[in-house]
A = this chain, B = another copy of it.
Amino acid sequence: MPAKPKVEDEYSRLYKMIVTGKIMPNERIVEMDYAQMFNCNRANIRRALARLEQDGLVVIEPFKGARVRLVTPEEAVETYEVRGALETLLVSQAAKLATEADKAILREILNKLYEARDNGDPMRVGTIGRQIREELWRISSHKTALKFLTQINSQLIRSSYRSVMMPGRADAIAQQLTEVVDHVSDGDAEKASEAMRQYHASAREALVAALQVKDYVF
């Protein structure tokens, strides 16, 4: 009765299990086990794994199977850098395209961000900060950059959790994102992207610092 290919299902289910840490890094993914768990065929798991491999979430070795890929700290930093470059591009588009309604939404989310900050809830600041950035993604309407950003984010969800917990990070996020939103509201693409560049520069610093706290395994 499957009107459309189920592979999408298995893919996203596995995807979620990996990025949420349900399947730990370096853990093997035996095709048969997950086929039974998901109540589907091995071939579907197989295809899902192939896609996940291209996402950089798993590695597949011939005749040895798939396992969750271990992301090295250096790689995480590099990924942050790429994300920064893309979002900088994207914000300049957003500044040119933002409607009044868009600006209102951004303001609104920003207020929630302040609230979270004042409540001393860094985790929530991180979540809302991400929400703002995703809103900017939407506003920019840059499908291609969006595609890559989506792909990228999967790889650093876990790192992000750590860096947002660094002392002072929450304040910095609030301040810098405010600046970004301000410039976007003014329609100043140049300044907006410069502000975003700075946001990402300091996000990168925070990550590097977080990574040095101890040799954390991603």
Contacts and interface: CB of A to CB of B under 8 A. Distances in A.
Contacts of A168: none
A144 interface: yes
Given A50-B47, A85-B86, A75 B5 contact: no
Interface of A: 3-5, 7, 43, 46-47, 50-51, 54-56, 62-63, 75, 78-79, 81-82, 84-86, 88-89, 142-145, 147-148
Given A54-B54, A82-B89, A85-B89, 17 more contacts: A4-B62, A4-B63, A5-B62, A43-B43, A47-B50, A75-B143, A78-B142, A78-B144, A78-B145, A81-B145, A82-B145, A82-B148, A85-B85, A85-B88, A85-B145, A86-B86, A148-B148
